[in-house]
Amino acid sequence: MFITLLKAKIHAATVTDANLEYEGSIEIDNTLLTASGIRPFEKVDVYNITNGKRFSTYVIKGKENSGVIGLNGAAARLAYPGDSIIIIAYGLYEADEAEKHQPTIILVDENNVRKKRLP
């Protein structure tokens, strides 16, 4: 049996861009992707701390050290520049893997620069 667990989280990132004229996705600074283990094209859930909205999309790689957190397509209607969001990736784990699993949690500052990695 597989169990769905938190794989990675980027906590309290600030939306920097919203572009309706795009097919859809969330663009994330590649520095944060590398630190979190989230991959380009991976499905993520986005939780908007500012307005409470939640949605799913896929990741595209943003420029390294740019601080970009950009929402594209329909997602651009659910969070706006300046909003604070949480980006979550989940994984499926076998029961024995789940016992040992530790998610990667990245805390960022208001410029989307990594402050801390947990654990």
Active site residues: 25, 58
- Which distant-in-sequence residues (6+ apart) come within 8 Å of 7 by Cβ? 37, 38, 89, 90, 91, 103, 104
Per the CB < 8 A criterion, the answer to whether 22 and 72 are in contact is yes
Per the CB < 8 A criterion, the answer to whether 62 and 70 are in contact is yes
5 - beta bridge partners? Answer: 91
Per the CB < 8 A criterion, the answer to whether 104 and 33 are in contact is no
